[in-house]
Structure 1
Amino acid sequence: MSTLAYISFAALVTCSIFLLGALCGWVYAHGVIAAECERLGGFYVGTNIYECKRVDAPVNRKERQQEVMP
């Protein structure tokens, strides 16, 4: 194989590992936030504290916008 093929393969592997790591981090972050919301009713990022509110029934966008925007 040529040097260009090795470089291309290395770039492909590097990008694949990066994307896999980003996906794993995204899944992990969602799990942590869900667990904190269930346990504490909120979560924090730095000095900011966010309050969680559970929605039991799925609501379509138009109904939700009408609730938020009077």
Structure 2
Amino acid sequence: MSDTATQLATLKSMYAKGVLSLEQNGEKIAFASGAELRRRMGDLETQLAKESGKSVSSGFHYPSYNKGL
């Protein structure tokens, strides 16, 4: 498992437990809120997708409309 995947697994575990801070190997990780933690998980998921060569969506969708004529 890559370092990024390990970090993502750790963050997902933290989120599932409702924990916003962790000390591991002398390094302390703390997030101000669950939203900040979710944002970081999203960043890591995007990074993993790029590393594996998968297409990454920007999350923006532009709707198109048709009058049906």
**Band the TM-score falls in, shorter-chain normalisation:** 0.3 to 0.5
Normalising to structure 1: TM-score of the pair? 0.33
Normalising to structure 2: TM-score of the pair? 0.34
Higher relative contact order (CA 8 A, sep 6+): 2
Whichever of the two has the greater Rg, that structure is: 1
Higher helix residue share: 1
